[in-house]
Each structure stands twice: as structure tokens, then as C-alpha cells.
Amino acid sequence: MTQIAKTEAKAEIKSSPVKVFDFLKYNLNQFLHMFPQAFKKVELLEGEEGQAGNVRLLEYALGNEPMTAKVKTEAINEDEKSITFIPIEGEIMRIYTTFVAKVTVGDGYVMWSIEYEKANDSVPNPDSYAKLAAQITKGLDAYLCTQI
């Protein structure tokens, strides 16, 4: 029987935690232009930007593998500067029976934690998702450091 496991990726940032958190809350659609190698489509389908309950369609590449997912913003915690995302459709749902990604922005770092349960024992750990999240965080930080 499989069980829920967790993997994490931490990326250092120089930007203000508030700027990073607000960007992740309100501007995920900009990932399409900022990271065209990783994101082919980021579209808000339901709800409002910056609000829990919104749903986005993501077309992305994980390595060389094109993927599609509908992702719901499950929770936003202003006090701890965290956002929790869960996929509700897409290839990821065939690989993992549970997949919860939480991003927490702190002073000088962004922590991505993924709780997951594999659909079967041959499924790999979601390390490639954690690695992609850390790379995007570094790119986002570089972008925000150039903004006034």
C-alpha cells in the first residue's frame, strides 16, 4: 500500500518576500512570457486572480514531456505568505493519487513542498516538479530584482 510522502525544494531570493508572494498570487499568467521553455499556456478558467478557489489551465513541459493540468488554488494564507495548489485534471492525476503543492515565501527564501501519493510503485518521486519550481523561483527573483 502506498502512502503520502513529501519532497521539498528551497530557493534563495533577494527580492522582497511581499513582492514574490504577491506575484505568485496575482500574476501566474506572466509565467507564459517569462518562462516560455516551461509554460505553453497559463489561463484563468474560473474565479479571480489572488483568490482561493480559482482554477487555471496549465500547459507545461516537464523535461521534454508536454503536460496539461487544471490546477485549483486551494488556499492562500496571508500571514504565512503561502499558497496551496492542487491539480484537479490532467496527466499528473494518473501518476499521483494525491498531489498537493504548497509554496511558502519567507525572508530570503521560497520553499516549495509537495505532498504526494504515487498511483503505483513504479511511479517516480515528483523531484522533477520540485526542481522546476526552484528554477522558476530563481528566474522570478531575478526578474523582480530588476523591477522598481
Summarised one tens digit per residue, pLDDT across range 84-106 is 999 999 999 999 999 999 999 99
In the chain, the number of structural domains is 1
pLDDT band of 17, cuts 50, 70, 90: very high
Model confidence pLDDT, tens digit, residues 47-83: 999 999 999 999 999 888 899 999 999 999 999 999 9
Percent of the chain with pLDDT over 90: 93
pLDDT band of 1, cuts 50, 70, 90: very low
- SS3 state of residue 44: strand
CATH code for the domain of 37: 3.30.530.20
C-alpha cell at 46: 474560473
Give the range of the structural domain holding residue 121, as residue numbers without chain letter. 5-146
Compute how many other C-beta atoms are within 10 angstroms of the C-beta atom of residue 10. 14
